[in-house]
Structure 1
Amino acid sequence: MKAVTCHEGRLALEHVPDPVPGHGQVLIEVTRCGICGSDLHARTHSDLTADGAAEIGYDAFMRSSQSVVMGHEFTGRILSYGPGCREAWPVGTRVVSLPVLEQEDGVHLTGLSVRAPGGFAERMLVSEALTIPIPDGVSDDRAATTEPLAVAHHAVRRAEIGKREVAIVIGCGPIGLAVILMLKAAGVRTVVASDLSAGRRALARACGADVVVDPREQSPWTSYGERRGHLRTAPSLMELGLSTMKTLRRVPGLPWWRVMRAAEKVGATPKGPVVFECVGKPGMIEDLISHAPLLSRIVVVGVCMEADTFRPSMAINKEIDLRFVFAYGPDEFYETLRMIADGTVDPTPLVTGTVGLAGIPSAFDALGDPDRHAKILVDPTSDATAP
């Protein structure tokens, strides 16, 4: 079969052996596969990522010396089952699957390991236990966005953001746009999007962002107005504490400490916005810690592949809550597919181009220009060589 391999950072269309489903595995014909930012990173930083993965016990992440078929945002049609399968769905059923393949030596990341070739191919293997039928009425294009949207769904859930809190999304590449979609699906009323690219700002609006800014012209920290009461200086926090105590202690016998604790429980105490870092470049965390209002919650979604630094003292002084998120759970993946199916989330603005297998190298190049594309899908049956 035809597949695109990555070796020493070079993408090449080749003929590779047809996959044969093993125990608990399903052979599918690939109908769509999205190109992910992780694919762009893995092409050039696979050895660095593999070293980090090995430190936490996974030693099979792709390395530059290997020839790997990438692609982990896929849809397909069932062709056959391996031994030990339940065979729950008829041959020809359209499916998505979590990109994890169980092999004899353990589980492997689909499209990011030589042991689990991915969706930049005509056919591939998936684990039956992680496979989900695509609901009727959901196109292959929309279903192929399940995986990146599940990443965003997980990030929004981990953020624990309330509907009345302000969300600020820094970076409107594919993952930032997916976060915007999931924030609006969660009912968040004020979503601010910030990006240097005019094209990405336009896509952020299409995805539902309420305020869109070019950070060179307007600060995302003040773009949504001062009415939220976000505190921007240490004296303002101290003055608030002093004025609150003065007010409470005017009431004789009032257990002011209990009132303050009760106010905290109902969300009446000061807090900052919830910030989603979706850029993934050195210096971004320090920049956000330095400029975000006090008491902000920063959720790091972007994957920075290089060593980075920030000032813990500044984060402490401003009492910044810093959270890092990764991937998603099977429940979140399933919920995301259901949200696409019932219209809660419309991923249409994410997809800006489609290529065939031969067009994957040009698609990787095109994704380097933020004004040209967001999410490019691969259709193995297409002859398109440019998105």
Structure 2
Amino acid sequence: MKAARFHARRDVRVEEVAPPPDDLGPHEVLVRNRLCGICGTDLHEYAHGPIFVPQSPHPFSGAQLPQILGHEFGGVVVAVGSDVRDTSPGDRVAIQPHMAPPDDYYVRRGLTQLSEQLAIVGLSAAWGGFADYAVVNDYNAVPIPDGVTDEQAALIEPAAVALHAVERGGVRPGDSVLVVGAGPIGQLQVMAARAAGATLIFLADINDSRLVLARTILGDIHTVNPLREDLLEILRDLTVGHIGVDVAFECVGQGRALGSCIAAVRPQGVVVQVGLHVGPAEIDAYAITRKDIDLRGSWCYSTLMWPRVAAIFASGIMQPELMVTKRVTLDEIVQDGFEALLDPAGDQLKILVEAGV
């Protein structure tokens, strides 16, 4: 079968690999992949990796380089192992990609992302979404309702990231929110904050193309380019009491963006760090203390969120498919996918890869 495999930095190859085995394990599910999103984590891996891709056998999954990438995907069940009960051949599923030992302290609490033995389908497991097929555990293949499209199935994973961050931030009805970073996660963060009841939302980015897209996709929000506008002055002018926003989300993974969030929240506000930093960040620790604010990390999501996110999509409360700017084939994934998204002058936001369709 065909798969896109990460070998080294700037070295992703679309190549023929061994097909799935005929005999599945008792709790395994064979999925014919449909659509898979290119995530910012995939881009980090391609441009700077290996980061999450293991160079020696992973302690739980045993996976190592080369790695089939792709962890935002869905598909159709082809076959199931003898002890699989929740899915059947023909079911449409979205893949919850986290794996860890079932007796792990955090796994038992639905917090697999916190396990020290965490493995991720498409990053540190034998299979991934950028391929014709994937073999996953039964708990990774979550059935989705008919009201969820194939595009939406591929967007449940990144939406879960944003919804988890909203929970970490404690967003309440009527809150004011700042999102720094207008990439896919940032725009999903706006959607998630609005779903939680936020009514005054600011989105900041230095990429004007993404801000234009955001106004088209997200509607009634305030977009700010901090290279040309005074972000703090705008926030203080428009927020109640002129004291800043209730919650700020850093969705870039950059020290200056985090500093802007700390400066932007009101006293006793909350800053949620969503973006992945590739190095240490300098912050104004005095401002954190003086303003009596909370600085919280937000790492992935609970594995229990998949049915909730699917229900939100089916209801129309969030429409993540509006972010999709292009589809590419597996053969086009490097040049028209990774490179297009890494282009600082590019106009792409979210690209989906047609894998086993």
Residues 355, 48 of structure 1: CA spacing in aligned structure 2 closer, same or farther, 3 A cutoff?
closer
Query: Among residues 325, 341, 351, which one is paired with 2:298 in the alignment?
Result: 325
Q: Give yes or no for the alignment of 1:352 onto 2:325.
A: yes
- The residue that corresponds to 1:40 in the other structure is 43
| CA root-mean-square deviation | 2.7
Q: Is 1:26 aligned with 2:42? A: no
Letter in structure 1 aligned against 2:281 = D
The separation in 1 between residues aligned to 2:202 and 2:239, in whole angstroms, is 15
Shift of residue 226 of structure 1? 4.5
Match of 1:99 in 2: 97
Amino acid at match of 1:365: E
1:61 Cα deviation after fit: 9.4
Alignment equivalent of 2:348, drawn from 365, 373, 378: 373
Q: What secondary structure sits across from 1:161 in the alignment?
A: coil
List aligned pairs for 1:36-115, cutoff 5 A. 36-49=39-52, 66-86=65-85, 88-101=86-99, 108-113=119-124, 115=125
Equivalent position of 1:306 in the other structure: 279
- For 1:119 and 1:69, the matched residues in 2 are separated by 7
Contact 2:60 / 2:101 at 8 angstroms: preserved in 1? no
1:283 aligns with 256
Structure 1 match to 2:15: 14
Deviations 1:18-50 (A, max 9, x none): 123323110000011001001111224444556
CA-to-aligned-CA distance 1:40-88 (integer Å, 9 cap, x gap) = 112244445569xx9xx9786977xx100010000111111123222x4
Relative distance call for 1:314 and 1:187 in structure 2 (3 A) is closer
Q: Show CA shifts across 1:297-324 (max 9, x none).
A: 1111111111222232232122231011
For 2:36, what is the secondary structure of its paired residue? Answer: strand
Number of equivalences: 335
Correspondence for 2:4: 4
Q: Which secondary structure does the structure 2 equivalent of 1:367 belong to?
A: helix
SS in 2 for 1:6: strand
State how far apart, in whole Å, the 1-side matches of 2:308 and 2:218 are: 19
Distance 1:24 1:222 in 2: 56
Give the Å deviation of 1:196.
Answer: 1.3
Q: Could you tell me whether the CA contact under 8 Å between 2:52 and 2:123 is conserved in 1?
A: no
SS at match of 1:96: strand
Aligned to 2:3, what secondary structure does the other structure show? strand
Report the AA paired with residue 3 of structure 2.
A
- 3-state SS of 2:213 partner: helix
Q: 2:223 matched to which residue of 1?
A: 212
> What amino acid sits opposite 2:79 in the alignment?
S
For 2:52 and 2:283, how far apart are their aligned partners in 1? 21
Q: Which runs of 5+ in 1 are unaligned?
A: 233-271, 383-387
Tell me how far apart the structure 1 counterparts of residues 61 and 290 of structure 2 sit (CA, whole Å).
41
Structure 2 Cα separation of the partners of residues 126 and 376 of structure 1: 23
Q: Percent identity at matched positions? A: 33
Aligned counterparts of 2:298 and 2:93: Cα–Cα separation in 1: 26
Q: Aligned equivalents of 1:14 and 1:333: distance in 2? A: 31
Query: Structure 1's 200 and 322: CA in aligned 2 closer, same or farther, altered over 3 A?
Result: same
Pair 49,18 (structure 1): closer, same or farther in 2 beyond 3 Å: closer
The corresponding residue for 2:110 is none
- Mapped contact 1:155–1:299 kept (Cα < 8 A): yes
Question: Does 2:127 align with 1:117?
Answer: yes
CA distance change for structure 1 residues 228 and 58 in 2, over 3 Å: closer, same or farther?
Answer: farther
Any idea what the Cα deviations from partners look like across 1:173-204, whole Å, max 9, x if unmatched?
01001101111122211111111112211222
Distance 1:50 1:305, change over 3 A: farther
Residues 103, 82 of structure 1: alpha-carbon distance in 2 compared, 3 angstrom cutoff: farther
Is contact 2:255-2:283 (8 Å) kept? no
Gaps of 5+ in 2: 104-116
Q: Distance in 1 between matches of 2:206 and 2:248?
A: 17
Instruction: Give the match's secondary structure for 1:77.
Output: strand
What SS class does the counterpart of residue 283 from structure 1 fall into? helix
Question: Which one-letter code corresponds to 1:378 in the other structure?
Answer: V
Is 1:72–1:118's contact at 8 Å kept on the other side of the alignment? yes
Match of 1:231 in 2: 243
Mapped to 1, the partners of 2:195 and 2:331 lie a distance apart of 36
Which of 188, 198, 202 is equivalent to 1:192? 202
Q: Per the alignment, in what secondary structure is the counterpart of residue 342 of structure 2?
A: coil
1:221 counterpart SS class: helix
CA apart distance, 1:361: 0.4
- Find the aligned partners of 2:91 and 2:119 in 1 and give their Cα distance: 24
Query: What amino acid does structure 2 have at the position aligned with 1:97?
Result: I
Show CA shifts across 1:325-379 (max 9, x none): 0111133222111111111111122111111111110110000135411111011
- Partners of 1:360 and 1:334 in 2: CA distance: 29
TM-score scaled by structure 1?
0.79
CA drift of 1:208 comes to: 3.7
* CA distance 1:347–1:227, shift in 2 (3 Å): closer
What is the aligned partner in structure 2 of residue 161 from structure 1? 171
Q: Is the 8 A contact 2:8 2:49 kept in 1?
A: no
Match of 1:252 in 2: none
Q: Distance in 2 between matches of 1:78 and 1:143?
A: 14
Partner amino acid, structure 1, of 2:12:
L
